[in-house]
């Protein structure tokens, strides 16, 4: 089961690195440019798939980690 956790962790890292640069857009909230953040941040196609797969892999990582700790 530890091998599965390592595989999930590596895939999760790769998926996070594949995502577009959302951190710079999120920084616009502080500077007052939140119209860019709220108005034009619709994900489509591959970007939406990568985001959903990242959530799934994150959940699997947490679930497997909790299972291994018991």
| Rounded distance between C-alpha atoms, residue 67 and residue 52, angstroms | 23
Task: Name the H helices within 1-70.
Answer: 2-18, 23-26, 28-31, 34-39, 46-69
Q: Number of structural domains, the chain?
A: 1
pLDDT digits (tens, 9 = 90+) for 15-57: 999 887 665 555 555 665 555 555 555 677 888 899 999 999 9
Model's pTM, two decimal places?
Answer: 0.70
Token reading at 58: 């994150």
pLDDT at 69: 95
The answer for residues whose C-beta is within 8 angstroms of residue 32's C-beta and 6 or more apart is none
Residue ranges making up the domain that contains 64? 2-69
pLDDT at 29: 57
């Amino acid at each position: 089961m530890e091998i599965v956790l390592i595989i999930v962790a590596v895939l999760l890292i790769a998926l996070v690195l594949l995502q577009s640069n959302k951190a710079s857009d999120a920084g616009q909230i502080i500077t007052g440019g939140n119209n860019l953040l709220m108005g034009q941040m619709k994900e489509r196609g591959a970007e939406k798939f990568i985001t959903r797969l990242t959530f799934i892999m994150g959940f699997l990582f947490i679930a497997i980690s909790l299972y291994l700790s018991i």
